[in-house]
Structure 1
Amino acid sequence: MSSEQIGCSLADAASSSAYTHFLKAASRSSPSLHVIYINTSLETKARTHELVPTITCTSSNVVATILQAFSQIPDLNVWYGPDSYMGANIADLFKRMTIMSDEEIAEIHSDHNRETISSLLPRLHYYQNGNCIVHDMFGHEVVKKIKEEYCDAFLTAHFEVPGEMFSLSMEAKTRGMGVVGSTQNILDFIKNHLKQALDRNVDDHLQFVLGTESGMITSIVAAIRKLFDSYESSKECASIEVEIVLPVSPDAVSKTSVDDSHNFCSSVITDLEQITIVPGVVSGEGCSIHGGCASCPYMKMNSLGSLLNVCQQLPDEDNILSVYRASRLNAKTSHGKLVAEVGCEPILHMRHFQATKRLPDKLVYQVIHGNGRESS
């Protein structure tokens, strides 16, 4: 809906010549699998899939995808991108797994143990020059603030945050005071600790440091309210408070903007302009209306004002809105295939994995024999 070009720092990184160079190195290391974050363009997915067999991932399934790939394909090299923070954090997680017990590792993936995790580390590669500009806000100053002011709080970190924040939450996790992973992992962690507090029914104050973008606050608040409502209806509750701390750059929040077009009286306008807004959506993750990225300046370009501008053109008698109309990708890849066809295949591979917990036979064949020949 924006008149300006809406982009994404991760998608831009994956479309760069440096990323192509990264994958050309991968194509020379057989067998290789490219695991690409879902927040990339269809053109990128098509281009990379023709270079190296590719499967998409989300922050929720990236660890399971990589561990299953190593388990399913002997001597595999995995190349992850374009999110450098997530890649570094996954590598850090696997290194920490080498000192876990086999039983603890089996809870993460049943086919792995300390020996297999140690053996896969040299064959895990990640892109070094891509990052989400929103998660980039969780840098050294934020970590310093958390250590000084929130040392007794529960710590959470998304796979996309910089390594210092991730390591801090990993250390807290070993004490039972933290979680690392996807937005769903973080939400489940908060809900489980609140359930435990409600079951104890003793006055308590739960403090969670939210190491991810601010848009997740909306879904956390909704889940907390639902839990409180369910317990209050069944028995008398103790006084339990939940505090969500978002120690990020001020860029993660914004002031409301009200102008005369809203026809509010001056006193109401003054009140509204004092409100601090933490942008958010209902639930989930990723760049969609269903969740995530609410602090991203690119996503903010899809504003209410832009929507109103489009609506004011209706009915579209002069075909003014044609510029906004979605169109099919009829472009061809370097191998002469439709971008839409090739680019969707890595997504379908991920859907197969989500349904079966195994890489599809077609993808395994592509990894072992190359994309030029397909299984019958």
Structure 2
Amino acid sequence: MGCTAQVWLEARMDADGNMRLKADSDSEITKGFCSCLIWVLDGAEPEEVLNLKTEDLGAWSVVGLQGRSNSRVNTWHNVLIGMQKRTKDLVAEREGKPPGEPFPSLVITADGIHAKGSYAEAARFLLPDELKIQELVNVLREKRIGVVAHFYMDPEVQGVLTAAQKHWPHIHISDSLVMADTAVKMANAGCQYITVLGVDFMAENVRAILDQAGFSEVGVYRMSSERIGCSLADAASNPAYMDYIEAASMASPSLHVVYINTSLETKANAHELVPTITCTSSNVVQTILQAFAQVPGLNVWYGPDTYMGTNIVELFQQMAVMTDDEIAEIHPEHNQDTIRSLLPRMHYYQDGTCMVHHLFGHEVVEKIKEMYCDAFLTAHFEVPGEMFSLTMEAKKRGMGVVGSTQNMLDFITDRVQEALDRNVNDHLQFILGTESGMVTSIVAAVRGLLRSGRVKVNVEIVFPVSSDSVTRTSSGSSNGLSSGEVGNFMEVPIIPGVATGEGCSIHGGCASCPYMKMNSLNSLLKVCHHLPEQKHDLLAYEAARLNLQTRHGKLIADVGCEPILHMRHFQATKSLPEKLIYQILHPCGNGKSTAFS
């Protein structure tokens, strides 16, 4: 995988315990690259094969790879890693070590899916109940209700919504930023109510953005009468976070870059202390680099996700040793000198984590290195540094992506489309480094591509979990599953995502957010059926307007939306708005930005 041409690799161990390697390719250039590796490693001791690092190949590139495309260099690196994986397997076999327990996975084909391993026992999303679909579509259409939902929902709910989309266009599943934007489009199209399947800050954002867009009469409803929290948003609501922002206000000029996954109250209170712009996992790097480019001597204070902050700093440290041309490809206004100069002025909060992405720790990373080093890696920007570094290394070889949920989905579908375009049978394996609910959108997108292909391409989505994090199926369950075989749901083996988060382990995780799983299909139907006649029964479900005020007497809803609008300006123009630049350069003596004096 990851090679532009087709490459075949054979590895065995001879009687003396040395590695014997063969390789072939349908590309003459690639065959030549493989021959170089064979020349160096065929007949070598296993340790020699395993100790060769991909960076060692950099010296060879001076001789043989100058002027060659990155895809050719990636082929060389990927074949080496394939050799090392097979070497590890043969060494373990020689030493009589039992093979490692693989991570659970789903294999997606044009005909259906096949479950490998145990992780949960709900596969209803594959063939959702037609009566439930019709019931939902009828009530949404009758009452003009739009649905915005996050990728991390329970797969069963996503399955019903995905099927219902074909009959009612005002259903949208996305990451958190797009949810509010889509709600505005739904209101423009005549929706009277918006239901939000996510956590509370997402419903809060939808409510505030609709008000800003002039749709205050459109109702917004959450999916629970109880609080639907978020560990990351909670971290930013801690007084320690405001202490961090207070410290930032003492340094001038300063910009606070706050993750979108925080409450409006956090955004508003911070913005009155330090000029603030929101960011997402897909645009945070460009936002920060653009800010440093536009404001000389700027201090950037990122929060609240500690892992993301750590990963941003590591990325900038990697950029500091790149060539100016390589840096310019990432951001055209930066070079080696500017990147090195900004590092001391890049700050991040030290005590904020997402409870799901925290689980992609050391145990998971070591197992990926051991058993999946030749697979495609995808990782959310919120994962711990070890997983981030591993995936960034894979990215250099064309084998990985780090970013938002949408970035990950795009990477998977792009690789699948490339495999179909090659017009050869193939098996692609992807490590999913984010919340397991993401699998529903992946299955839908990949199945759509595979049905249009003329060749047999299989796509395996691997879920990194520890052995303590699985739910076993019943003894009568089958190990195989295709969409045509689903009859009795009790007999369906698995899909990833333990219901309500039960069965999770701190040793590697089940990558399932218990807060997101509070968004049930029953709650959605209850809210829809009660509208509008029984609205009084839904008071606890309503996303109320924030009438609270900041410490300087401004409405939190108004002040908290401004950092979001600053980000929208950046996304549209690739530059920070003049208003924000003015706030950065002209702070007031009492700590609040000029715009709110």
TM-score (norm 1): 0.85
Distance 1:314 1:364 in 2: 44
List aligned pairs for 1:48-127, cutoff 5 A. 48-127=270-349
Q: Which residue of 2 aligns with 1:261?
A: none
Q: CA deviation at 1:172?
A: 1.4
State which of 297, 310, 327 in structure 1 corresponds to 2:514. Answer: 297
Instruction: Tell me if 1:11 matches 2:229.
Output: no
Q: Distance in 1 between matches of 2:545 and 2:535?
A: 22
2:393 equivalent among 171, 189, 192: 171
Q: CA separation in 1, counterparts of 2:468 and 2:526?
A: 26
Q: For 1:255-274, what per-residue CA distance to the aligned partner results, in whole angstroms no more than 9, with x for missing partners?
A: 99xxxxxxxxxxx9974375
Q: How does 1:309-320 map to 2 (within 5 A)?
A: 309-310=526-527, 316=533, 319-320=536-537
Partner amino acid for 1:278? P
1:3 Cα offset (Å): 2.9
Residue 286 of structure 1 corresponds to: none
Rate the CA distance shift 1:31–1:247 in 2: closer, same or farther, 3 A.
same
CA distance in 1: counterparts of 2:340 and 2:584, whole angstroms: 22
- The one-letter amino acid of 1:373's match is T
Q: What's the offset of the Cα at 1:308?
A: 4.7
Q: Match for 2:311: what amino acid?
A: N
Q: How does 1:149-160 map to 2 (within 5 A)?
A: 149-160=371-382
**Aligned in 2, Cα 1:238/1:116: closer, same or farther, shift over 3 Å?**
same
For residues 96-144 of structure 1, the C-alpha deviation after alignment (integer angstroms, 9 at most, x for no partner) is 1112222221111111111111111111101111011111111111111
CA apart distance, 1:314: 6.3
Identity of aligned pairs, percent? 69
Which amino acid letter does the alignment assign opposite residue 319 of structure 1? H
Q: Does 1:145 align with 2:374?
A: no
Task: Report how many aligned residue pairs link the two structures.
Answer: 346
Look up the equivalent residue of 2:496 and give its one-letter code: V
**Structure 1: gaps of 5 or more residues:** 257-267, 281-293
Which among 555, 559, 566 is matched to residue 338 of structure 1? 555
Q: Tell me how far 1:309 sits from its aligned partner.
A: 4.8
Say which of 40, 46, 64 aligns to 2:262: 40
The answer to whether the Cα contact below 8 Å between 1:53 and 1:363 also exists between their aligned partners in 2 is yes
> Bigger CA drift: 321-330 or 14-23?
321-330
2:490 counterpart (272, 295, 308): 272
* Runs of 5+ consecutive residues of structure 2 not aligned to the other structure: 1-222, 474-485, 499-510
1:190 is the counterpart of 2:376:
no
CA contact (8 A) 1:157 1:181 kept: yes
Q: Say whether the 8 Å CA contact 2:425–2:455 is kept in structure 1.
A: yes
- Report SS of the residue matched to 2:285: helix
2:462 pairs with one of 241, 245, 248: 245
1:148-196 per-residue CA deviation (whole Å, 9 max, x = no partner) reads 1101111121100111111111111222222222223222322232222
Residue pair 2:427, 2:460 contacting (<8 A) in 1 also: yes
The alignment status of 1:373 with 2:584, answered yes or no, reads no
Q: Which moved more, 1:270-279 or 1:294-303?
A: 270-279
Stretch deviating more after TM superposition (177-186 or 93-102):
177-186
**CA RMSD, aligned part only?**
2.6
- Residues 331-359 of structure 1 show CA distances to partners (whole Å, capped at 9, x for unaligned) of 11100111111111101101111111110
2:391, 2:381 → 1: CA distance? 11
Q: TM-score, normalised on structure 2?
A: 0.54
Structure with max Cα Rg: 2
Which deviates further from its counterpart, 42-51 or 301-310? 301-310
